[in-house]
Copies of this chain bind each other. A is one copy, B any other.
Amino acid sequence: MDQIKQVAIVGGVHGNEFSGIYLVKQYQQQPEQITRSSFTTETVWANPEAHYANKRYLHSDLNRQFKTVDLANPDLSNYEQSRAKVLNAQLGPKGNARIDLLIDLHNTTSNMGACLILTQAGPFYNKLAAYVKMKMPEAIISRDEDHFAAEDHALMCTLGRYGVLVEVGPQPQSVLRQDVLELMHRMTQHILDFVELYNKDALPALPKQTEAFRYLHSIKLPMNERGERIGMVHKNVQDRDYQPIHPGDPLFTLFDGTVVPYQGETVVYPTFINEAAYYDNNLAMSLNEKVLIEL
């Protein structure tokens, strides 16, 4: 029977997302909060130098450095590329990891509440999603597991045999909000409780169907031919993560006042609306479809 013996809770992959950093500190001070009888939990602070610099990263995004081929490439040697190799040695190696479950804690500036992001498929994840949503109905389940084989996934959480992201917002970069910290703590506790029950084959009856949002693609901010931004997310969309956008709904406002409607042909559900960290790539939001996780 599948058993989760080693869990790692990772905070601070991004240096200016404070909740994970402080939640890891809290768990180090109060280890009873992450202690369960059937497995061992360790805490990891992934990117201290980015936090000291009060930045997402020093040289490159740590949460994009975990492809198997990149971990094996000695020429990738900047700070985050080096941290990825160290974390791979400490928690992995990816594909044959010491860590059975890696819980990676993140914040977003978007109004996403407490969101459990699944980047791989399988019955473990389906049961986890059903359990978390049952225990915490305000939780959002997000799926993004169809696009890559695990070895090609660049995310930190793919280092573990299993891995998930806990993504909580809205919280500005470089701020610690008590309400957001508590949401992250609650979701993390439900995950740990699930693992305990999973190991003991003592899960309660789980819902046969659990609502989730499946990632489709991201859309960019309006730009001119010189690559300069010429508009912003429409105020009707701002803060309305997970709310439907219908064909023709306002999507962007250009700086000259023009409203740009959504031109897709189906209803979509946005996430990471106006996320600060995605401006680098001029991303405006991610679009999703609503799906059901079936047990």
Contact = CB atoms under 8 A, between A and B. Distances in A.
A235 B256 CA distance: 39
Nearest to A23: B255
B29 A109 contact: no
A26 B255 contact: yes
Nearest to A255: B26
A254 to B, nearest CB: 11
Interface residues of A, number: 34
A45 interface: no
A176 B284 CA distance: 11
Given A173-B276, A276-B173, A29 B255 contact: yes
A232 B173 CA distance: 15
A96 to B, nearest CB: 36
Interface in A166-208: 170-179, 181-182
A253 interface: yes
Contacts of A173: 172-174, 276
B174 A238 contact: no
Contacts of A279: 54, 174-175
Contacts of A240: none
Contact of A178 (B253, B256, B276): B253
Interface of A: 22, 25-26, 29-30, 54-55, 109, 170-179, 181-182, 232-235, 238, 253, 255-256, 274-277, 279-280
8 contacts: A25-B255, A29-B256, A55-B55, A109-B172, A175-B276, A176-B274, A178-B235, A179-B235
